[in-house]
A = this chain, B = another copy of it.
Amino acid sequence: MIQLELAKQNKTTPQIAQVAKDESLAVELIRKNLIQGKIVIPNNKKRKFVRPCGIGHPLRTKVNANIGTSVGKASIKEELKKLEVAIRAGTDTVMDLSTGGDLKKIRKAMLKESCVAVGTVPLYEAAVDVTRRKKSIKDIREEDFFEVLEKQAEEGVDFFTIHSGVTLETISRLKNQGRILDIVSRGGAILVEWMLTNKRENPFYESFERVLKIAHKFDVTLSLGDGLRPGALADGTDRAQIQELIILGELAKKAREAGVQVMIEGPGHLPLDQIEMNVKLQKSLCDEAPFYVLGPLVTDIAPGYDHITSAIGGAIAASFGADFLCYVTPSEHLGLPSKEDVEIGVISSRIAAHAADIVKKIPHSLEWDANMSRARKQRDWKKQFGLAIEPNRPKKVRMNSNPDTEDVCTMCSKYCSIKIIEKYLK
């Protein structure tokens, strides 16, 4: 039996127990919200790993790191190094988005090495396979799509992004809309090419039951992808995007009815003042399913700095209820991320997630900040580094600044406000 069924029989699965412990919440609450679809715990029944995590309300906001090869950059070693870096930096899950090299070998290595949940976009493998056979996307057989799903589920992948909402209806609305950047989702674009060249409906929509059957068999959590997520601020919250979201809401309902865990993916690029509405709309249209956002990026004009634009959007989204932040690295829009990009990407998203967790009143979240501020008052540098979300960079900054004394820093030196005031405000 799979998690959702066990939960409905009032059983406490090891995953539920662990999430309850990690989050300082009652087992009963986790179970109830899992049953209601407000929480998912991605964990393929074929796979055991150290740190399964819960995603949803009222849990700590989680962070995902996308790694994986591309056509020109297909070193397994390099990607495993990124996996290590992402986990050390504190990511809660990873996605293997490989499209270069031996996909199965890479995935197997990731599944073996990762102590956190691993997700994929199975569709990529179908596209890569057909391309390698010197054929085109059009030539992917419907069966191929479901075969990669079955195969990857069998291998132990914990969650799948499935672009079931890219339907003939949404494509028609997209055309009617007239966007600057029609589709910026790789999976979405591949599906549209397949659908339009074959004049067929999306198989992941039309035969959603087959997706559910595979997911159910292996307890794979579904992450319903937003193939039509806006890739430009000007395209944010348009009719095409919301049409897809309505369909995803309907499919999420079907998934729950079939006992399959499900979450919903979201934007993308959005003006800052559209973020609250997007989160509330998703929660309403998808019956409180966990919301997994890629960004949102609050401006298009900062390539090289999109870990910052997405930290702004991610913090706001999560503060209004988004549950899961997909990191964005400084390489976004420019190239495959390096190890260094992976690290700063995870840290930036964790900062955004934590800033939101304070608003969400997640247990112990504000306490962390208060302890840091107490260490600052004491000018206890060791304690500050110990409490820092990432200790190496602040240690280096302080070391390089050569402070005169152990006590203060080179910013204010003997005019340190904290030191001045403690004598007079006892």
Q: Is the CB of B351 within 8 A of A410?
A: no
Q: Is the CB of A355 within 8 A of B72?
A: no
Assembly CA distance A260 to B171 (angstroms): 59
A398 at the interface (CB under 8 A from B): yes
Q: Is the CB of B411 within 8 A of A335?
A: yes
A312 at the interface (CB under 8 A from B): yes
Q: Is the CB of B72 within 8 A of A413?
A: yes
- What is the minimal beta-carbon distance from A200 to any residue of chain B, in angstroms? 13
Q: Is the CB of A186 within 8 A of B304?
A: no
Assembly CA distance A307 to B193 (angstroms): 41
Q: Is the CB of A272 within 8 A of B315?
A: yes
Q: Is the CB of A410 within 8 A of B336?
A: yes
Task: List A366-397 residues whose CB lies under 8 Å from chain B.
Answer: 366, 368-370, 372-374, 376-377, 384, 387-390, 392-394, 396-397
What are 11 pairs between A and B in contact, CB < 8 Å?
Answer: A71-B415, A100-B413, A127-B415, A137-B420, A185-B417, A193-B423, A272-B319, A272-B356, A303-B394, A305-B390, A333-B376
Assembly CA distance A230 to B412 (angstroms): 17
Write the A162-183 contact mask toward B (1 if CB under 8 angstroms, else 0): 0000000001001100001111
- What is the minimal beta-carbon distance from A171 to any residue of chain B, in angstroms? 8
Taking a contact as CB atoms closer than 8 A, the residue among B180, B193, B356 that contacts A377 in the complex is: B180
A38 at the interface (CB under 8 A from B): no
A277 at the interface (CB under 8 A from B): no
Assembly CA distance A298 to B354 (angstroms): 9
- Residues of chain B lying within 8 A (CB to CB) of residue A305: 347-348, 351, 389-390, 393
Assembly CA distance A189 to B422 (angstroms): 9
Taking a contact as CB atoms closer than 8 A, the residue among B127, B174, B417 that contacts A186 in the complex is: B417
Assembly CA distance A305 to B393 (angstroms): 8
A418 at the interface (CB under 8 A from B): yes
Assembly CA distance A175 to B421 (angstroms): 12
CB closest residue in chain B, given A234: B370
- What is the minimal beta-carbon distance from A285 to any residue of chain B, in angstroms? 24
- Residues of chain B lying within 8 A (CB to CB) of residue A271: 355, 358-359, 366
Q: Is the CB of A319 within 8 A of B273?
A: yes
Q: Is the CB of B425 within 8 A of A182?
A: yes
Q: Is the CB of A186 within 8 A of B301?
A: no
Binds B, one of A204-212, A217-225, A401-409: A401-409
Write the A343-365 contact mask toward B (1 if CB under 8 angstroms, else 0): 00001100110111011000000
A145 at the interface (CB under 8 A from B): no
User: A354 with B424: in contact, given A312-B311, A315-B272 (CB under 8 Å)?
Assistant: no
Assembly CA distance A383 to B137 (angstroms): 30
